[in-house]
Structure 1
C-alpha cells in the first residue's frame, strides 16, 4: 500500500521518488501527531476510571450491623433435646437441677409449655423465669404419647399426670369395655376433671 501511495503522489505532483517518499512520511507523521493524543487520552480514561464500590461497601456495612446486633443475643436452648451440660450454662442451674429438669422432661414425654417448669421440684420462681428466657419449645414439637389401650398400669402410673387411682380406672375401663374408642372417652372415668383432661390429653393416644 505504501508503494501505491508513493506512485500516486509521484504521478499527481510529478515528484521524484525521494520527494514522494518524503511527502508521504510527512503526512503520516502529521496523522500520528493528531491521532496519537486522542488514542492516549481514551486509553488513560479507561485504565484510570475509578471503580464504583458503593454497592459492595453498603452490603458489608449491612452485614456488620447485623453481626453487631446479634452479638449481644444469647442462643436459646431446645429444652426437649438439651443435655445436662447445656442447661448448666444457665446461671443458677446446678448439675443436680439440670438432671432433675431433664428427668422430669423424660417422665412427661417432653415439655409442651413453659408453665410445666413450675412442676419441677426445687426450681425457684427466679430460676423458672431464667429458664424460660434461655430455653425454647419448638412450635411443632410432639411429645411422647401413652397408649390408653396398650399401656400397662406401671407405665401409666409412671407419668406425672396419672395417679395410681386414675391408672387403675383406665385399666378397669379396658377390662369392662374392651378398649377406648376415642381419647375423649377418658371423660367417663371416675375422678376425671376438665383441668386434668387438658393437661394429659397431649400425651395420650389410642
Structure 2
C-alpha cells in the first residue's frame, strides 16, 4: 500500500506542472472547437485540380478518337462500293443511285455529276469531295468535261495487239491513266508478254470493268516468245523470278527436286503438297523439265 501511495504523492512543483499541462490541453480543445480553419481554400484548390485533370483527359480522348478515325485517301468516286460508301457516311439510297448509274455504263466526271446522280447532301459532299480523284482525261484545266474522251468509240480506238500497245494507246481507254498504263506495260514485261487475255486482270489496281473495256479494243493477236528455264538446272533465284511463284513454293519445288534427283515431267509438280493447281498452266509457261 505504501508503494501505491507513493506514486500519487507529488510535491508543489510537480502539482503545478500537472495543472499547467491540463490547462494547455483544455485550451487546445477549446481552440479546436472555436477557431474556424480555412479548409475551403484547400477544397477549392483540389476541385480546380480535378477540373483541370478532366479537361486534359477529354483533350487526350479527342486526340485518340481522331487518330482512330479511318483515313480517307484519294479515290475515284466511280468505283465506290457498298462498304466504301458506308465508310464515307453515304446513305443506302445514295449508294444505290450511284451503282444504278454505273450499271448503265456511264461515268461520273465531276463533283457536280456526283451530286446530281446521288442526291447527296451538301454537308457530306463538302467533306468527301476533296478526296475525289478523276482520271487526267476526265476533266480539262477549266474543270469542264473533256468531250474528246467522254464517249470513246471503235472508230476512235484502233484495235491493236495487247502485246504491242503503248502508254498512249492505253490511256485512250476510259479509266486508264498514265500511271495505270505504265503498270500494265511493266507487268507485261515481267510476263514476257501476255499469253492469256485474263492475265490483264492480274495488273495491280486495275479495275475489272476497265480491264473489260480495254480487252474490247486490245486483244492478243500474237503469242509471246517466252524463254523457258529447265527446272532441273535452274537456280533458286531464277525460279523465284517467275511471276506466279513465291518464296515458299520455290522452296517446295527445290525440296522435291532434291528428293527425286531429277524431275521427269512438269506434271510431277502437281504432286507437291500445297502446289497451286490453278496456277499450273501459268507456271508451266516458264518451266521445262529436261
Q: Normalized against structure 2, the TM-score is what?
A: 0.42
**Structure-to-structure mapping, 1:186-197, within 5 angstroms:** 186-197=269-280
Give 1:102 deviation, angstroms: 1.5
* Match status 1:169 vs 2:278: no
The answer to whether the 8 Å contact 1:77/1:135 transfers is: yes
User: Which whole-Å CA distance do the structure 2 matches of 1:146 and 1:94 have between them?
Assistant: 35
Aligned to 1:91: 174
> Is the CA contact 2:163–2:193 (under 8 Å) kept in the aligned structure 1?
yes
Change (3 A) 1:144 1:127: farther
Question: 1:198 Cα deviation (Å)?
Answer: 3.0
After superposition, the Cα gap between the structure-2 partners of 1:97 and 1:197, relative to the gap in structure 1 and judged at 3 Å, is same
Contact 1:161 1:200 in 2 (8 A): yes
- 1:203 & 1:181 partners in 2: Cα distance? 16
Instruction: State whether residues 173 and 179 of structure 1, in contact with CA within 8 Å, keep that contact through their aligned partners in structure 2.
Output: no
Unmatched 5+ stretches in structure 2? 1-153
In the TM superposition, what is the alpha-carbon distance from 1:101 to its structure 2 partner? 0.9
For the residues of structure 1 that align with 2:231 and 2:175, how far apart are their CA atoms? 39
CA RMSD of the aligned region, Å?
2.4
Cα distance in structure 2, aligned partners of 1:158 and 1:105: 14
Describe the shift of the 1:146–1:131 C-alpha distance in structure 2 as closer, same or farther (beyond 3 A).
Answer: farther
Q: Distance in 2 between matches of 1:204 and 1:157?
A: 12
Do the aligned partners of 1:148 and 1:205 also contact (CA within 8 Å) in 2? yes
- Note closer, same or farther for the CA distance 1:205–1:80 as it changes in structure 2 (3 Å cut): farther
The alpha-carbon distance between structure 1 residues 180 and 126, as it changes in their structure 2 partners (threshold 3 A), is: same
Query: CA separation in 2, counterparts of 1:166 and 1:101?
Result: 25
Q: Which of 113, 129, 135 is equivalent to 2:212?
A: 129
Matches of residues 123-162 of structure 1 in structure 2 within 5 Å? Answer: 123-138=206-221, 140-162=223-245
Normalising by structure 1, we get a TM-score of 0.57
The residue number in structure 1 matching 2:195 is 112
CA contact (8 A) 2:158 2:217 kept: yes
1:141 & 1:199 partners in 2: Cα distance? 13
* Cα separation, 1, equivalents of 2:223 and 2:194: 12
Residues 47-106 of structure 1 show CA distances to partners (whole Å, capped at 9, x for unaligned) of xxxxxxxxxxxxxxxxxxxxxxxx937422222233333323333321211111121122
Instruction: Say which SS state the counterpart of residue 159 (structure 1) adopts.
Output: coil
Quote the Cα distance in structure 2 between the aligned partners of 1:105 and 1:146.
19
Alpha-carbon contact 1:110-1:144 (below 8 Å) kept: no
Quick one: distance in 1 between partners of 2:227 and 2:267? 18
Partner of 1:203: 286
Q: Quote how far apart the aligned CAs of 1:142 are.
A: 4.3
Return the structure number with greater helix share. 1
- Structure 1: 5+ residue stretches without partners: 1-70
Q: Which has the bigger relative contact order, CA under 8 A and spacing at least 6?
A: 1
